[in-house]
Chain A
Amino acid sequence: GDSVTQMEGPVTLSEEAFLTINCTYTATGYPSLFWYVQYPGEGLQLLLKATKADDKGSNKGFEATYRKETTSFHLEKGSVQVSDSAVYFCALPGVSGGYNKLIFGAGTRLAVHP
């Protein structure tokens, strides 16, 4: 079945460091891919998305490229800030029961220190 695998956290970085959070997927066809972010005490927010192979999603300095050949959608940011501390979830729409059920990875907690 469809699945999403994320690197385990927590990821701890100093401010202005480079961030990569790995995400790989298994899916039927070529679904859209998403990154969601959950700040402390809040719900999930859509961070960025890509709808087809080689698309690059970007938002708030974060980027992720839809790589069909490696079935990956790694999240990157060139210079993280303390305010980026959150949990990040990779997701794709599952094919079970139709294409309207997002399957989430386990989440990766990022802690950025000054």
Chain B
Amino acid sequence: GAGVSQSPSNKVTEKGKDVELRCDPISGHTALYWYRQSLGQGLEFLIYFQGNSAPDKSGLPSDRFSAERTGGSVSTLTIQRTQQEDSAVYLCASSPPYTGGATYGYTFGSGTRLTVV
């Protein structure tokens, strides 16, 4: 596609429920990233996928968080047993292969605003 697409744009869920957030990267971008932005805060790295390599999960805050990327394209971030502190905007970004991100930067989606009540 022309840009990085994220869905839903807004999600309100009850504490303890599971949620799935979707990211559709730019066609041809083999690298995909998830970041989290809490209200008024900076950006927190969550996970990074590069092609068929094992993902870098070093930023996931707990084992309630997981992500997968099917067919090297669409990615789903799943949060199990949501807590109020999970409320944030979840941003997805993609970049060209290899060092493309370091050279050309990342293209971000508009994000999913998650509210846990």
Question: Which A residues are closer than 8 A to B by beta carbons?
Answer: 31-32, 34, 36, 42-46, 49, 51, 89, 93, 96-107
Report if A100-B102 is in contact (Cβ < 8 Å); known contacts: A105-B42, A106-B42, A107-B42.
Answer: yes
Whether the pair A34, B105 counts as a contact (CB closer than 8 A) is: yes
Q: Count the B residues whose beta carbon is within 8 Å of the partner chain — how many? A: 28
B56 touches A51 (CB 8 A): no
Chain A CB within 8 A of B65 CB: no
Residues of A within 8 A of B103 (CB): 32, 51
A45→B93 CA distance, assembly (Å): 10
Q: Are B105 and A100 in contact (CB under 8 A)?
A: no
A contact residues around B99 at 8 Å (CB): 99-100
A104/B102 in contact, CB under 8 A = no
Whether B107 contacts A46 by the Cβ 8 Å rule is yes
